């Protein structure tokens, strides 16, 4: 009977630079490419709706690419261990290959699967495909995890970065009688109500599209990345994050592309590589501090006096706070499954500081609505904003949404696109329409409180409330002897 190997695809939905697939190609075994949909095994962080939309299209594209190699992607619903054991028994599987993930629940699941398969006499080979270096390979001089980004980045930048792994696709052996796949539509990834209509104009979640997006960025925009990355009204960022999250691009491929373009020493290229390192840092923290998706890394913030308010939270989620740049960001998120990074910081700061809503509530909303929702990056970003994570912005640093809008969306291209009810306002009043004279509002068709909300909280009042909460938290910690 033909011996087989399973390549268990997860967040590595690509052919190129896929170490697990490369190892399978060298094994001389007949290869079964497998994807198991088992969101319940990811604990409290099963993929959200926007992530599932991307996953659907990424799986379809991967199946097509595998088809060019004479292989078919086998889709199954979990549980993962039972699915693997069934295929192992039916197809005389000698080895199971997969690329590692770093979320706490997935690490626990994978460890159990590995033990069970090896106990049954099946070899398990796992590889790193998602990071430049494994989290346990990076440590400070004391051998401890880094908690500050700058020394982490300096250390990482001093290390040689391995190039992409070559996959010898001609050596991939096909099964003479491959398993029958469940239809992709049976995984329930696509929305029942079509809220995703604008996604198709914004995204092309294919492997060729990932390569093209990387090439276009490196050739056309990376030199201006340093100057333009904070301006949401221009195409200044890479928009590679969903391709990286789902493994349609690897960080090694991105790193190599920047080096080969000769851009690494320029301001734009150096800054962009530091953002790849920021992603690495996020995974470093999640691996070493697995409680952080729910708990503040800084223990003195674990009992912060938040004031949960469903009305505030919903106004923020719907982009109806009365602060134009905040509302533009939240509407961009809902319409496109993505938000510009500068605006992510502005909207997050507004929620946790002006509105005093717990950062976990914001993290949950981003998790469900971002196509690039990544547990490591999402967690670190929200804890950074809330002042309670590694290398975090101090809680007393409170973004002024008016000044942020005026500085980074000076001529209002971004706000006018996503908050069209304000489109006719002059630049002078666009980021604070409540300051506009009545005749200016009337001429622009703006009726505050009717077709656009008044601010749900005064900026100064929100700032003072946040600082009071910070002082109360400090006093409570001192009283507790912390």
Residue 101 CA: distances (Å) to CA of 11, 45, 241, 278 = 8, 14, 16, 17
Which single residue is written with the structure tokens 């096909």? 174
Compute the distance between CA of residue 161 and CA of residue 133 in angstroms, rounded to an integer. Answer: 8
CA atoms within 13 A on the CB side of 218: 19
Q: Left if phi > 0, otherwise alpha if psi is -120 to 50, otherwise beta: which for 260?
A: alpha
Peptide bond into 163 cis (omega under 30): no
Dist. CA 285–CA 101, nearest whole Å: 14
Residue written as tokens 């409290």? 44
In whole angstroms, give the CA distance from residue 138 to residue 156: 8
In the three-class reduction of DSSP (H, G, I as helix; E, B as strand; rest coil), residue 325 is classed as: helix
**Nearest CA among 368, 384, 379, 362 for reference residue 308:** 362
Whole-angstrom Cα distance, residue 24 to residue 125?
A: 9
- Distance CA(412)–CA(424), nearest Å, equals 10
Active site residues: 275, 278, 306, 341, 359, 382
**Which phi-psi region, left, alpha or beta, contains residue 250 (left: φ > 0; alpha: ψ -120 to 50)?**
beta
| Rounded Cα distance, 202 and 198, in Å | 7
Residues 6 or more apart whose CB falls under 8 angstroms from that of 242 comprise 54, 203, 205, 338, 371, 372
Does residue 175 contact residue 32 with C-beta atoms inside 8 Å? yes
Kindly list the distances between the CA atom of residue 317 and the CA atoms of 265, 365, 446, in Å, as whole numbers in the listed order.
40, 8, 22
Please, are residues 339 and 370 in contact by the beta-carbon 8 Å criterion? yes
Distance CA 226, CA 268 (A): 5
Tokens of 264: 């690494």
Go through the chain and tell me how many residues it has: 482
C-alpha atoms less than 13 angstroms from C-alpha of 142 in its C-beta half-sphere: 5
């Amino acid at each position: 009977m033909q011996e087989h190997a399973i390549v268990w695809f997860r967040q590595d939905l690509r052919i190129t630079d896929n170490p697990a697939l490369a190892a399978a190609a060298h094994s001389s075994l007949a290869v079964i490419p497998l994807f198991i949909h088992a969101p319940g095994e990811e604990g409290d962080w099963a993929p959200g709706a926007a992530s599932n939309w991307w996953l659907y299209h990424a799986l379809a594209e991967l199946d097509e690419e595998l088809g060019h190699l004479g292989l078919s992607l086998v889709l199954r619903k979990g549980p993962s261990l039972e699915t693997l054991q069934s295929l192992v028994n039916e197809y005389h599987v000698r080895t199971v290959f997969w690329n590692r993930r770093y979320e706490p629940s997935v690490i626990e699941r994978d460890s159990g699967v590995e033990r069970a398969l090896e106990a049954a006499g099946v070899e398990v080979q796992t590889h790193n495909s998602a990071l430049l270096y494994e989290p346990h390979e990076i440590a400070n001089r004391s051998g401890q995890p880094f908690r500050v980004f700058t020394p982490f980045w300096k250390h990482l930048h001093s290390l040689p970065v391995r190039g992409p792994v070559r996959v010898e696709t001609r050596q991939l052996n096909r099964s003479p009688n491959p398993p029958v796949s469940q239809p992709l539509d049976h995984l329930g990834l696509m929305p029942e109500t079509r809220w995703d209509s604008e996604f198709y104009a914004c995204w092309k979640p294919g492997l060729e599209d990932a390569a093209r997006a990387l090439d276009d960025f490196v050739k056309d925009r990376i030199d201006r990345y340093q100057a333009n990355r904070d301006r949401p009204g221009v195409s200044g960022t890479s928009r590679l994050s969903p391709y990286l999250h789902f493994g349609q691009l690897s960080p090694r491929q991105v790193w190599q592309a920047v080096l080969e373009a000769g851009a690494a020493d320029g301001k734009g290229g150096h800054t962009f590589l530091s953002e790849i390192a920021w992603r690495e840092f996020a995974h470093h923290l999640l691996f070493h501090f697995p409680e952080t998706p729910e708990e503040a890394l800084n223990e003195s913030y674990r009992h912060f006096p938040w004031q949960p308010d469903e009305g505030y939270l919903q106004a923020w989620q719907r982009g109806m706070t009365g602060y134009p740049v905040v509302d533009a960001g939240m509407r961009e998120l809902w319409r496109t499954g993505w938000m510009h990074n500068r605006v992510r910081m502005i909207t997050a700061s507004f929620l946790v500081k002006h509105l005093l809503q717990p950062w976990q509530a914001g993290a949950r909303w981003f998790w469900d609505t971002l196509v690039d929702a990544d547990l490591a990056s999402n967690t670190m970003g929200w804890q950074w904003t809330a002042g309670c994570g590694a290398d975090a912005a101090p809680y007393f640093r409170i973004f002024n949404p008016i000044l942020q809008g005026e500085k980074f969306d000076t001529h209002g291209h971004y706000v006018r696109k996503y908050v069209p009810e304000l489109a006719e306002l002059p630049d002078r009043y666009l980021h604070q329409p409540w300051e506009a004279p009545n005749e200016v509002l009337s001429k622009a068709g703006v009726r505050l409180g009717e077709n656009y909300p008044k601010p749900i909280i005064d900026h100064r009042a929100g700032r003072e409330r946040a600082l009071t909460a910070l002082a109360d938290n400090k006093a409570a910690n001192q009283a507790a002897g912390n």
